[in-house]
Structure 1
Amino acid sequence: MAPLNSYDEWSRLREVVVGSAENYTSHERELSFDLFHHDNLVRSEWYYPRLTAPGSDDRPAGDGAGGAGGAVGAGGAVGRTGQSPIKQRYVDELTEDIEGIAATLRSLGVKVLRPLPLDKATVEVRTPAWSAAVVPPLNLRDNTLVLGDEIVETPPMIRSRYFETQLLTPVFAEYFASGARWTVMPRPLMTDASFDPSYADSSAGGPTEPVRNPRSSPYDVGFEMMFDGAQCLRLGRDVVVNVSTANHALAVDWLERHFEGRFRFHRVHRLSDSHIDSMVLALRPGTLLVRNEQVAELLPEPLRTWDLIVPPVPEVNNFPQYEDDDLILTSKYIDLNVLSVDEETVLVNAACPELIRTLERARFTVVPVVHRHRRLFGGGFHCFTLDTVRDGGPEDYLG
């Protein structure tokens, strides 16, 4: 393995970690999950009621400090209230598509690393304050932020993912042995009182049941830092960060103090609910891929002069049709979540001919890759990968 070095989103990619969907069985509908996915649960083709546990005084399942009910058996979702099972055929097809992503990257000369797979017997996350069903290390971009020669494990936003980065320990340890810095941000207690619900409360519409029903806990400490690496757009020595809640703001306070003198952080406010990488991506210095031109108006002033690539609105027939009990977790713009291999080469979902043609007209080499169920699993190529070695350095692109 080469020494850890990743400052931007576009310079030549040398090493990358690709996620795993092994033993993905369900989503758990509880407070942290619904707050995190609020925008897309609201704006999907259907409205999703919260799941209420029988005999739980009509409160949504999973909001209590002790979790939602009995532990999950080794077979998966059965035995725990508040879960939305995922059909096995979707998981099988997702696994096939992920292997295709990894094979494509290898064919382009990129070294591909993988996390430990989630063991089938590991079905629950439990802390002193709560318990939740566990999910595999699929969307690796979320709980880790790589800035230059430093790995930062970020404080999770969804309870099910609390210990997810432990499945990346062998990868991180090897980079550490090669000289990388390795930091873990403070871990939140994540009681109901830890979450700032202001974004969900102020956004249009809402699920058919209340998104929050907070319960007190002996571990309540008020708002805590919670933050995903996918809220960051890395531009050499500058990092653009989406901040939508007090949880995000606390985390950026920490990042600014920790990286003082090494990186400059630029806050944009409520560009999205959390992640930035289906709103704006930097494909090379001077060029942004954006959802619409209005996105640029919210970015730091130096970025407003960059060239904008605005693809057509995605077609409905670009996506599989799902059944009423299949939980949709992303907007139809998820395929803007592309991955750059270098300043000229971009991995794009093969199901998006409009996006492919738009990028080709901008003189990019597009590598189409199959990814069918991105709306069910909440991620595209950028989400599923963690770039650990790129050629770029701490250049000043913003002046």
Structure 2
Amino acid sequence: MRLHSHDDFTPLREIVVGSAANYLGHDRDVTFELFHHDNLHGFRSDWAYPRLSHGGSQDTQRWKINKRYAEELHDDVENLAAILTDLGVTVHRPLPLPPDAAEIAGLGWRATPTPALNIRDNTLILGDEIIETPPAIRSRYLETRLLTPILRRYYDAGARWTTMPRPTLTDCSFDLSYARDTTTTLGGPTEPIEYPQPTPYDVGFDLMLDGAQVLRLGRDLIVNVAHENHRLAVDWLQRHLGDRYRIHRVHRMADNHIDSMLLALRPGVFLARHEGLRDLLPEPLRSWKFIVAPPPDPGAFPAYNSDELILTSPYIDLNVLSIDTDMVLVNEDCPQLRQLLDAEGFDTVAVRHRHRRLFGGGFHCFTLDTHRLGGCEDYL
């Protein structure tokens, strides 16, 4: 095992594929509502923070997931792992979440843990360094512990292993400016944002940053910053990395993750949700080619009952995974996207992923590439 990953497009040799085992539901508390802010309120007016959080930190609603959907998700993730293996990639897997996993707890809160499925979020790989990033959702606080056996093997083989400061995740830990500012979101909250409930454990805004907010381009890192929690975390990251990397901050490209907004498919080529993203990028990247994805086909998604919780925008299928600069894994339900990429000279591999809008991730989210052949190049 060798940890060596500087980008998302050079030839892939080793990868971690997440686990969907025992994904039973969501804890809908203030942290969950804020994290999924852009998408939750866009579909139902009663899905906006803080309707389920008026009572403070302890006020949580458990949102059960249809068992059939969970089982089909598990089948699709296992199929993804098998396809990557067939393509010659070494696949590692996290520990499955036990079916009877006990609640986890912090200072003033409790949460039901979720499996290590969207593993791109809480771990950032930069070259030969593992950086565990500070989670923004309470139920995901210990998620990287399910990755520990894999991370430990890379560490034993010579990788560096760093953990960013852990957040307290009290109600007062969060900068609410993004959720309150209706001019910078997809529509704004559907009800007033209440003031958070104070606790004895408040320390001000926490550092929060997900790996999926970082676009890795060799020596350059493009990082989405939507609010003060992100800014504080990027300040830490910049101080930690020193002059090893150049960090470029983009302002509010999304509420959190940008890998369903913009992905680099090869040097000089982006897959983008829309052309306007160009203006948010550093000047040297504005000359890159933008392959703008076709509008999502509503018929490409399963029809759900009114009580199902939608977590992603219809553009989730931009969340593709590159095997190298030519081959890309694309959802089989997106023939128009595949045809577009084929016409641009890519070799697309159709992979099944049915319930991506219920579980908040695509192929890029579900994976963590740990060994690609590319180096710390200066693509800018």
Q: TM-score per shorter chain, which class?
A: over 0.9
Q: What residue is the counterpart of 2:69 in the other structure?
A: 90
Match of 2:219 in 1: 237
Post-superposition Cα deviations, 1:149-177, rounded to whole Å, max 9, x if no partner, equal 00000000111100000000000000000
Number of equivalenced pairs:
377
Is it true that 1:317 corresponds to 2:283 in the alignment? no
In the alignment, the residues of structure 1 paired with residue 139 and residue 23 of structure 2 have an alpha-carbon distance, to the nearest angstrom, of 12
Name the amino acid aligned to 1:94.
L
Deviation at 1:51, TM superposition (A): 9.2
Q: Which stretch of the first structure deviates more once superposed, 122-131 or 98-107? A: 122-131
1:227 is aligned to 209
Match of residue 120, structure 2, among 138, 141, 144: 141
- Matching residue of 1:326: 308
Correspondent of 1:160 among 139, 158, 178: 139
- What residue is the counterpart of 2:38 in the other structure? 39
Tell me which amino acid in the other structure corresponds to 1:169.
T
CA contact (8 A) 1:345 1:367 kept: yes
- Give the match for residue 276 of structure 2: 294
Which residue number corresponds to residue 14 of structure 1? 13
Determine helix, strand or coil for the equivalent of 1:358: helix
Q: Distance in 2 between matches of 1:386 and 1:129?
A: 32
Shift of 1:338: 0.2
Counterpart amino acid of residue 310 in structure 2: I
1:354 aligns with 2:336: yes
2:49–2:193 CA contact under 8 A, matched in 1 = no
Gapped runs of 5+ residues in structure 1?
A: 53-58, 69-80
Aligned partner of residue 339 in structure 2, secondary structure: helix
Residue 72 of structure 1: aligned partner: none
Q: Distance in 2 between matches of 1:272 and 1:278?
A: 9
1:193-237 superposed Cα distances (whole Å, 9 cap, x missing partner) = 100010011135445555555111000111110110000000001
The aligned counterpart of 2:79 is 100
- What CA distance in whole angstroms lies between the structure 2 residues aligned with 1:101 and 1:89? 18
Provide runs of 4+ in structure 1 moved above 6 Å.
none
TM-align CA RMSD: 1.5
Structure 2 matches for 1:250-265, cutoff 5 A? 250-265=232-247
Q: In 2, Cα distance between the equivalents of 1:213 and 1:102? A: 44
- Show CA shifts across 1:346-385 (max 9, x none): 0000000110001000000000000000000000000000
Unpaired stretches in structure 2, ≥5 consecutive residues: none
CA contact (8 A) 2:309 2:358 kept: yes
Aligned position for 1:64: 56
Q: Is the 8 A contact 1:339 1:346 kept in 2?
A: yes
Question: What is the TM-score of this pair, normalised by structure 2?
Answer: 0.96
> What's the counterpart of residue 191 of structure 1?
170
Alpha-carbon contact 2:320-2:329 (below 8 Å) kept = yes
Q: CA deviation at 1:64?
A: 2.8
Q: CA–CA distance in 1 between the matches of 2:36 and 2:193? A: 10
Residue 340 of structure 1 deviates from its aligned partner by 0.2
User: 2:72 and 2:257 mapped to 1: Cα distance?
Assistant: 25
Other-structure match for 2:24: 25
The answer to whether the Cα contact below 8 Å between 2:41 and 2:47 also exists between their aligned partners in 1 is no
Aligned mates of 1:331, 1:362 — CA distance in 2: 25
Q: Which residue of 1 aligns with 2:158?
A: 179
1:380 aligned to which of 355, 362, 379: 362
SS of residue in 2 equivalent to 1:183: strand
Distance (Å, rounded) in 2 between the aligned partners of 1:190 and 1:250: 14
Match of 1:71 in 2: none
Amino acid at match of 1:43: G
Say whether residues 1:343 and 2:342 are aligned partners: no
Aligned with 1:261: secondary structure? Answer: helix
CA distance in 2, matches of 1:342, 1:49: 39
Q: Secondary structure at the match of 2:286?
A: helix
Change (3 A) 1:41 1:391: same
The Cα offsets for residues 298-335 of structure 1, whole Å up to 9 and x where unpaired, read as: 11111110111012101100111111110000000000
The residue that corresponds to 1:214 in the other structure is: 196
Match of 2:230 in 1: 248
Residue deviations 1:218-268 (CA, integer Å, cap 9, x gap): 001111101100000000010000000100000000110100121111000
Contact conserved, 1:11 with 1:342, CA < 8 A, in 2?
Answer: yes
Following superposition, the deviation at residue 48 of structure 1 comes to: 3.4
Counterpart residue identity of residue 10, structure 1: F
Retained in 2: the 8 A contact 1:199–1:245? yes
**For the residues of structure 1 that align with 2:54 and 2:121, how far apart are their CA atoms?**
22
Q: Which of 221, 246, 250 in structure 2 is aligned with 1:268?
A: 250
**Structure 2: how far apart are the matches of 1:183 and 1:124?**
25
Q: Which amino acid aligns with 1:314?
A: P
Query: What percent of counterpart residues are identical?
Result: 58
1:111 lines up with 2:103 in the alignment: no
Q: Pick from 99, 102, 111: which aligns with 1:132? A: 111
